Every structure is written in C-alpha cells, then in structure tokens.
Amino acid sequence: MSASKLHADDTPVPVLAPGNGKTKTGRLWTYVRDDRPSGDTTAPAVWFGFSPDRKGEHPRQHLKFYRGALQADAYAGFQHLYENGTIVEVACWAHARRKFHEIHIAHASPTTTEAIERVAALYAIEAEIRGSTPKIRKTIRQTRAKPLLDGMHAWLEATLAKLSRKSDTAAAIRYALSRWPALIRYVDDGALEIDNNAAERALRVVALGRKNFLFAGSNAGGERAAAIYSLLGSAKLNGLDPEIYLQHVLERIADHPINRINELLPWNLSLPSRS
C-alpha cells in the first residue's frame, strides 16, 4: 500500500453457509504492486483480502491509507474511492477491447474489426516500450499513442451517431467514451499501464483453486485462503516456485524470530525458480 500505483480486481468464491449445508458467494479482492514494466526494481507483491459480500465498503477499508493511482475495471464499488482525489482512477483498455471482441466473435462487422485494430495499435506501442523508464514511456506515448487516441475518440463518436442506441456495438462504444479520461490517463504518466492485466493474472490461481477445493468452509476459511494466496502469489511474482517457497517457510517459521519475520518474505529469499 506504500506504492504509487496499484492494480485491483475481485472474483467470487463459494463459501459454506452455516447451518444449511449450502454455499453463499464471498469475494476475494486482489491488489497488485508490479512496476517492472516501467523499469522499476521494487519487488512485486500481491495482497488478497476476503469479504463475505461485494459491498463497496470493502475496497474502501482495504485502501483507506492508500494514496496514488488505482488501475481497475468499472465496478461501481470502486467509484467512491476517486471522489476526494487521493486515489486516481486509471481504466483498463483490455476491458474496453473485450466488449468489442465479444461482439466480434458473435457477429463480426467492419465497426468491431476497426475498433479491435485501433486498440491493437496501442498495444503494439506498449510492447516496444515495456521495461523502459517512465520518462521514455511517457515521451513515446505522447508522440505516438496520443494521436491514435485522439483519432479513435473522434471515430467512436462519429460511429455512435450512426448506430441504433439499442445495439450491442453502441453499448460497447458508450462504455469506452464514458470512461475516456481514465482510459487515456496512462499516456500522461509513464509509470501507469495500459490495462489491468496484472490483477487479472493474479486471480487466475483462484479460478484454478475453485476447481480443486470447491468452497471455503467458512468466512474464516476465506480469510486464511486470502493469506495463503497472498504469499504464494507474491512468490510467483518474484520468480519462486510456490511449493518450494511454502515448504521453505513451514520448515523454518516455528523457530524463526518474530522480529526477523521479514526475512521469510518472497523477495528476501534465494530459492529455486519456477520452471
């Protein structure tokens, strides 16, 4: 939470409801710090939090001390975080593209084709500058991406005027236009990313876990799962094999001095890397 930029997302997780043998839907929230794409050498990390529902009060509590940019999707529960200006909204081009892509798969059209191609041109620029310093990234984005975005904005508005308001394509365009200031914010700050894929990658392990453990046994079980996901997810981000990391920690933690617990964090260990 001391970072100047975080990626955030959430996903449902089934939790056993007490007394009736059925499950309810809890949430796992993820917050990722990973500035390696902008040349930063700070160790990446991920923190998971569990909640029994998806109320906006949970991210408000998680981020009550955070100050900086938040890269996230359009979930309404995040919107109140941006009201006083201490947290700056940065939207996700992967989400905007996905809406056009889903329509394109079902019923391709010249409009969806062009929208996807325009977004692809933005991503091509990002591929070239990944790992460069924020100053270099900002300069190149200003020179090359900004004109493309200006052209896309004009094209989206002109195209929207020709479509039925009830069409799916019109809805995809309105989504992009309604979030436009947050979608183009990355151009003015080389430390920001074009999308929120860092958070989505962190959640993939949860999807796999749901297939294996089926559900958390209680809210307390959900909180324990969040703690384990935080450790193992951070191990993966730092190139460690999660199983080897967990074994290393469990073998030592009983006798490890509590005032030196930081020595067992993933970025402070040299262990075999993931294959």
CATH architecture, range 5-89+196-237: 2-Layer Sandwich (3.30)
Smallest CA-to-CA distance from 3 within 48, 45, 37, 39 is with 45
* pLDDT tens across the length of the chain (275 residues): 899 999 999 999 888 887 777 888 899 999 999 999 999 999 999 999 999 999 999 999 999 999 999 999 888 889 899 998 999 999 999 999 999 999 999 999 999 999 999 999 999 999 999 999 999 999 999 999 999 999 999 999 999 999 999 999 999 999 999 999 999 999 999 999 999 999 999 998 887 766 666 677 788 888 999 999 999 999 999 999 999 999 999 999 999 999 999 999 999 998 866 55
- Interatomic CA distance for residues 218 and 238, integer angstroms: 30
Please, are residues 81 and 67 in contact by the beta-carbon 8 Å criterion? no
Helix (H, G, I), strand (E, B) or coil at 196: coil
Q: What is the Cα 184 distance to its own chain's centre?
A: 17
- Interatomic CA distance for residues 106 and 102, integer angstroms: 6
pLDDT at residue 273, rounded to an integer:
65
Please, are residues 3 and 191 in contact by the beta-carbon 8 Å criterion? no
Q: Where are the alpha helices (DSSP H) in the chain?
A: 57-62, 76-79, 93-106, 110-129, 134-140, 146-162, 168-178, 180-183, 197-213, 219-237, 242-252
Q: Output the 3-class SS for 84-97.
A: CCCEEEECCHHHHH
- Interatomic CA distance for residues 56 and 136, integer angstroms: 36
The structural domains of the chain, with segments of one domain joined by +, span 5-89+196-237, 93-187
Write the single-letter amino acid at 98.
R
* Cβ neighbour number for residue 188 with a 10 Å cutoff: 11
Smallest CA-to-CA distance from 100 within 1, 199, 169 is with 169
Q: What is this structure's pTM?
A: 0.91
- For residue 143, the 8-state DSSP code is I
